[in-house]
């Protein structure tokens, strides 16, 4: 903590204090058991969903980023800061997924529990970002096998904060892990129906590498691991070439990213006489609308698998 950082820290604290002072402190509603619920704020919907499944009645979970929101570029709003200030626990992915929130979360971590759950995954299981070898690819939720680690880390965190709920948290986690395992099975069955030569997944950005590794698919993204990078013309040409040479007929758009580059690929392939269609919309960095099946982690992953399988099986 050098003296250079201090003024900025002061400003942050002042801001948080101001925000806190502006919001009335409301006691969380009493749960059925009469105990105070844990106020948890999660950055993405996937994390929020996991916490909800594990903690059940013992926690109120708020997601900062809703459906269709891109976590790579998301900047906090004033109401976000308010929510974060009131939280008992803040969970985020880490691994530079929420790149614009890094500083805020770091500062917040000095005043309250802020946990980077994806960083609990053993590094040996992680893929590195091709462009920046010292960074990891943060899209770990694409592999339910890796998401297990996140769930377990979540449980441990909750237990640490709220030891009385240990049994509830452990039960919730066991249930969740079982669901994850079942999901994994179902997906593998779906995805194995695609003939090996068709197992190429082309998407708007490189969000699916863990998916590809887990299910034996080759993945190609137009933009890199983060959507902040601009798609290069050369990359577009390369991909068009790949589409034509390997006779790929279906590519995919994502809910939180512009579909422009994908449409450019389709036009490029069409100019060379090869027809490519949009195989479907995938949930890459955000889930679907709350209240729908795709608005849950399980639903999101299953939707992706089913969409990919169906699109790539058809000729």
Partner 1 sequence: MNALFEALLMQAGFNTALVCIGAALLGAAAGGVGTFILLRRRSLASDAAGHATLPGLTAAFIIMAWLTGDGRWMPALMVGAAISAGLGLAAVHALAARTRLPEEAAIGAVLSVFFGAGVVLMTVVQVIGTGGQAGIATYLLGSAAGMLRHEAALIAAMAFATAVAAFLLRRPLTMLCFDEDFAAMNGVAVRWIDLALSALLLAVVVTGLKVVGLVLSVALSIIPPVAARFWTNRVHHMVIVAAAIGATGGYVGAAVSSAAHNLPTGAVIVLTLFTLFIVSLLFAPARGLLAGVWRHQVFRRRVHRRQGLLALARGEAIYDGFTLRVLRSAGWIRRDGVPTQTGRRAAREAARDEALWALHRQRQPGDGAFRYYHRVMPIRAVLPPDVVRDLERQFDLADVAAAREPRRGA
Sole window of 21-29, 32-40, 70-78, 162-170 interacting with partner 1 (rule: CB under 8 A): 70-78
Give the contact letters, 15-54, x = binds to partner 1 (CB under 8 A), - = no.
Answer: ----------------------------------------
Backbone angles phi, psi at 232, to 5 degrees: -90, 150
| DSSP letters spanning 249-301 | -EEEEETTS-SHHHHHHHHHHHHTT---EEEEEE-SSS---TTSGGGSHHHHH
How far is 39 from 86, CA to CA, in rounded Å? 8
Is 68 among the residues that bind partner 1 (CB under 8 A)? yes
Sites for partner 1 among residues 151-190 (CB under 8 A): none
CA–CA dist 303, 297 (Å, integer) = 10
Q: Which of 61, 142, 240, 282 binds partner 1 (CB under 8 A)?
A: 240
Phi and psi of 39, rounded to 5°? -95, 105
Bridge partners of 61? 40
How far is residue 236 CA from its own chain's centroid?
Answer: 25
DSSP-derived letter for residue 66 is -
Could you say whether residue 69 binds partner 1 (CB under 8 A)?
A: yes
Q: Which of 30, 230, 247, 314 binds partner 1 (CB under 8 A)?
A: 230
Encoded one letter per residue, x for contact with partner 1 by CB under 8 A and - for no contact, window 76-115 reads -x--------------------------------------
In whole angstroms, give the CA distance from residue 285 to residue 178.
23
| Residue 74 touches partner 1, criterion: CB under 8 A | yes
Within 241-300, the residues that bind partner 1 by CB under 8 A are 241, 255-261, 263-264, 267-268, 271-272, 286, 289
Stretch 120-139: interaction string toward partner 1, x if CB under 8 A: -----------x--------
Q: How far is the CB of 296 from partner 1 (least distance, A)?
A: 16
Determine the interface stretch with partner 1 among 108-116, 180-188, 230-238, 302-310 (rule: CB under 8 A).
230-238
- For residue 7, the minimal CB distance to partner 1 (Å) is 22
Cα–Cα distance for residue pair 29/35, rounded to 1 Å: 9
Reduced to 3 states, what is the DSSP secondary structure of residue 129?
coil
Nearer to partner 1, 110 or 272 (CB): 272
**Please, are residues 235 and 221 in contact by the beta-carbon 8 Å criterion?**
no
| Count, residues near partner 1 per rule CB under 8 A | 39
Cβ proximity of 155 and 167 under 8 Å: no
Question: Which one of the spans 67-75, 101-109, 133-141, 194-202 is the region binding partner 1 (CB under 8 A)?
Answer: 67-75
Shortest Å distance, C-beta 29 to partner 1: 25
* Residue 102 vs residues 75, 91, 109: alpha-carbon distances, Å: 10, 12, 10
* Tokens 């169906």 sit on residue: 310
**Which parts of this chain interact with partner 1 (CB under 8 A)?**
65-70, 73-75, 77, 131, 222, 227, 229-237, 240-241, 255-261, 263-264, 267-268, 271-272, 286, 289
């Amino acid at each position: 903590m050098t003296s250079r950082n201090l003024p900025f820290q002061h400003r942050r604290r002042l801001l948080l204090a101001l925000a806190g002072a502006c919001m009335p402190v409301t006691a969380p509603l009493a749960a059925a058991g009469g105990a105070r619920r844990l106020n948890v704020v999660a950055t993405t919907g996937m994390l929020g969903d996991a916490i909800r499944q594990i903690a059940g009645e013992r926690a109120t979970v708020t997601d900062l980023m809703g459906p269709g929101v891109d976590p790579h570029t998301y900047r906090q709003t004033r109401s976000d800061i308010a929510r974060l200030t009131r939280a008992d626990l803040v969970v985020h992915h880490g691994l530079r997924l929420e790149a614009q929130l890094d500083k805020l979360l770091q500062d917040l971590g000095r005043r309250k529990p802020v946990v980077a759950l994806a960083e609990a995954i053993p590094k040996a299981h992680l893929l590195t970002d091709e462009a920046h070898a010292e960074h990891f690819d943060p899209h770990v939720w694409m592999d339910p096998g890796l998401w297990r680690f996140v769930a377990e880390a979540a449980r441990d965190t909750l237990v640490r904060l709220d030891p009385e709920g240990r049994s509830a948290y452990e039960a919730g986690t066991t249930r969740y892990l079982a669901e994850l395992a079942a999901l994994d099975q179902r997906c593998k069955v779906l995805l194995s129906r695609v003939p090996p030569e068709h197992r190429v997944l082309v998407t708007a950005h490189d969000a699916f590498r863990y998916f590809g590794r887990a299910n034996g698919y080759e993945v190609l993204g137009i933009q890199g691991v983060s959507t902040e990078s601009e798609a290069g013309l050369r990359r577009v040409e390369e991909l068009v070439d790949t589409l034509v040479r390997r006779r790929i007929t279906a590519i995919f758009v994502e809910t939180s990213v512009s579909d422009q580059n994908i449409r450019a690929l389709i036009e490029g392939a069409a100019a060379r006489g090869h027809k490519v269609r949009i195989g479907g919309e995938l949930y890459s960095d955000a889930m679907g609308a709350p209240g729908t099946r795709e608005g849950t982690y399980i639903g999101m992953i299953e939707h992706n698998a089913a969409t990919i399988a169906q699109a790539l099986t058809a000729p």
